[in-house]
Amino acid sequence: MAKIKATLLSAALIFLLNGASFAQCAMCRATLETNVNNGSEEQMAATLNFGIMYLFAAPYILVGVVGYLWYKQSRRSSSPYK
């Protein structure tokens, strides 16, 4: 159990402390560079980065929730105190 906690804590720290993890696909980056070079505000770039990270994280959160519920259900069904 301690190994699992250490692994989860390490993963959480990696994700929380990595501020430079905002990434863009090649098409999004080209669009943003064009818009910024044409005088558009940089707020658009920050908003697009947030959207990309949101779309990136959503499937992993969904899989995590489903896995947790599956784990809890399997523990409940194998309990000797039915």
Tokens of 73: 């259900």
Radius of gyration of the chain (CA): 20
49 in any annotated domain: yes
12 occurs within a structural domain: no
Residue 3 inside a domain? The answer is: no
pTM of this structure: 0.46
Residue 9 is assigned to a structural domain of this protein: no
Please count the structural domains in the chain.
1
Maximum pairwise Cα distance, the chain: 68
Residue 19: per-residue pLDDT:
59
Residue 15 belongs to some domain of the structure: no
11 vs 60: CA distance, rounded Å = 13
Residue-range definition of the domain harbouring residue 61: 22-82
Residue range 28-82, pLDDT digits in tens: 777 777 777 776 666 777 777 788 788 888 889 999 999 999 999 888 887 666 5
What's residue 66's pLDDT?
A: 95
In-domain check, residue 44: yes
Q: 11-35 pLDDT, tens per residue?
A: 887 777 765 555 566 777 777 777 7
Contact predicate 53/22, CB 8 Å: yes
**pLDDT greater than 60 at residue 6:** yes
